[in-house]
Amino acid sequence: MLHKTATRRLALIASQVRHSRTQDVRVKGEAFIQHANFSSGTQADAKAAAKALEEARKAPSYYRFWEDITTRWKDNDQYGHINNVEYYSFFDTIVNNYLIRNCGLDPSSIRKAPSEKAESSSNSKPIYYVVSSGCRYHASASYPNRLQAGLAVNKIGRSSVVYHVAVYKKGEEGASHANNSGSNDEGNLTCLVTGEFVHVCVDPASGRPVDVPDSMRRKLELVLAKKE
């Protein structure tokens, strides 16, 4: 049998160990809670930033280049509004119109004869392949509504370009952009969709990614998004 003094010492040690473990668990618990709160705050901030950007992208003032879109009878689906897939066609139209008119894009280069394609890449004008696209829908429209599409470049990488696009329905008064300066009577436009469209610059002869030419980069910089 243990001496009473030894028993009391063992009981004291056991109590200290339990207290130490309790403190350790509490400290770890508080650290976990603080981390969880920090993570939660970070996620909330990220969501708030994403929402703010989405709202900014719905404003006509965000965009730098504009095209009128003529809706067609075939655009309407059985629900009586423009089908969602048609908006991707509108994205294609405004992006490539800007590249052809302002950046020297030659889509026909991919259809050249084999002998012509044998030219060195340095003498070939690049083309642009879509590698990603997405769309968020905010309101509906239908034929024969008059639409406008706005374009802005969000990011220019080494061989890729990220575009932001939006499509608007004109108001009853038919308000529209008088030019491509990016100004507009925002009160007369209803944002229908906002989207993202990503191009990769490709050599038409090899089909491999190449750097965005400096001349085109300068033209793309003219329509960089207006970010506050």
Predicted confidence (pLDDT) per residue in 159-178, tens digit: 999 999 999 998 754 445 54
| Shared-domain flag, residues 83 and 139 | yes
| Shared-domain flag, residues 34 and 74 | no
| Shared-domain flag, residues 217 and 116 | yes
Given 14, 31, 57, which residue is the final one in a domain?
Answer: 57
Residue 227 domain-assigned? Answer: no
pLDDT at 58: 87
| Shared-domain flag, residues 45 and 121 | no
Residue 100 domain-assigned? Answer: yes
| Shared-domain flag, residues 48 and 106 | no
**Least confident interval from 15-24, 80-89, 128-137:** 15-24
Three-state DSSP class for residue 82: strand
Q: What percent of the chain has pLDDT over 90?
A: 52
Residue 170 domain-assigned? Answer: yes
Residue 228 domain-assigned? Answer: no
CATH of the domain at 85: 3.10.129.10
Residue 211 domain-assigned? Answer: yes
| Shared-domain flag, residues 200 and 151 | yes
Residue 153 domain-assigned? Answer: yes
| Shared-domain flag, residues 69 and 52 | no
Task: Count the domains in the chain.
Answer: 2
| Shared-domain flag, residues 67 and 171 | yes
| Shared-domain flag, residues 50 and 163 | no
Residue 226 domain-assigned? Answer: no
| Shared-domain flag, residues 40 and 85 | no
Q: What is the pLDDT of residues 13-32, one digit of tens each?
A: 555 555 555 455 454 555 65
| Shared-domain flag, residues 66 and 48 | no
pLDDT at 53: 64
What b/e sequence results for 120-140 when a residue is b if at least 16 CB atoms lie within 10 Å of its CB, and e otherwise?
A: eeeebebbbeeeebebeeeee
Report the distance separating Cα 174 and Cα 172, nearest Å.
Answer: 5
| Shared-domain flag, residues 47 and 113 | no
- Residue numbers of the domain that contains 6: 1-57
**Least confident interval from 9-13, 142-146, 178-182, 186-190:** 178-182
Query: What is the full DSSP assignment across 146-208?
Result: EEEEEEEEEEE-SSEEEEEEEEEEE-TT----SSSSS---GGGEEEEEEEEEEEEEE-TTT--
